[in-house]
Amino acid sequence: MTAFLLGVLSSVSATALVCAAGWVRAGRPRWWLVGLLARLTGTGISRAYREQRSAEPDLAREVARARWVKVLAGRGNTLTRDTFAPVWADGGVPVQVLLPDPDEEPGTWLERREERLARTDPGFGPGLLRSQIRTNLAYLTHLTRQNTAVALKKFDLPHIFRLVITDQGAHLTFYGEHAHGRHSPCLFLRPDGALYEAVLGLFELVWATGAPHRGAGPEQV
């Protein structure tokens, strides 16, 4: 199953990068050209951001009016910030969250990601990424106990992108090899495009194989 998931991850990443790499690197993305490309190819890419942090205002607006939200993240810091505050305050929006398993064996995906980040961030010492994930899991666990619409699971896969999917569209961030997510390129995918369907299907597959987080609420299926 892991090999199959890795194959799907690679296919989604390669397709999106081929379609959008030129636009992400542009100093001022030409939105109308991106939209034209999306219509011609059926990919559904309608916005491209050089850095994920530039997409946060748009993401905040989209999750605030979403009917449901699905998140797969490499750390989950955004979930504890203002961007998601309206979702937690609402209490009725179904939310599924996938975060890495901080208790995975040494030498696996978490440590590889941590070692790469440490090359450009001198404050990123051994064990820090695991600690930050545990903190975010604790935050979300508290939410699941108060709100049965929030479900939480853990995954054991490479840390190569972040997904935030709603009925409004999907934000897909490709993590730079030595860059934090906030400094990595991000695409917005319309819900009528092929890539939206691909990342939604990928999320559902990872969710189905994910491990429930101990102590979280009962709605984990």
Is the sign of the CA dihedral 54, 57, 58, 62 positive or negative? positive
Mean pLDDT of 44-58: 85
Q: Are 170 and 163 in contact (CB under 8 A)?
A: yes
The span from the first CA to the last CA of the chain, in angstroms, equals 18
Annotated domain spans of the chain: 2-211
pTM: 0.80
pLDDT at 4 over 50: no
Backbone angles phi and psi of 161, in degrees to 5:
-160, 165
How far apart are the C-alpha atoms of 183 and 162, rounded to whole Å?
A: 12
Query: How confident is the model at residue 139, as a pLDDT?
Result: 95
Query: How confident is the model at residue 144, as a pLDDT?
Result: 92
The mean-pLDDT minimum among 73-77, 99-103, 146-150, 156-160 falls in 156-160
Indicate the pLDDT class of residue 18, thresholds 50, 70 and 90.
very low
Q: Per CATH, which fold does 2-211 belong to?
A: Endonuclease; Chain A (3.30.870)
Q: Quick check: helix, strand or coil at residue 73?
A: coil
Query: How confident is the model at residue 27, as a pLDDT?
Result: 42
Q: Are 186 and 79 in contact (CB under 8 A)?
A: no
Mean pLDDT of 82-110: 87
Per-residue pLDDT of 102-148, as tens digits, reads 887 766 777 777 777 777 777 777 778 888 899 999 999 999 999 99
Query: How confident is the model at residue 59, as a pLDDT?
Result: 93
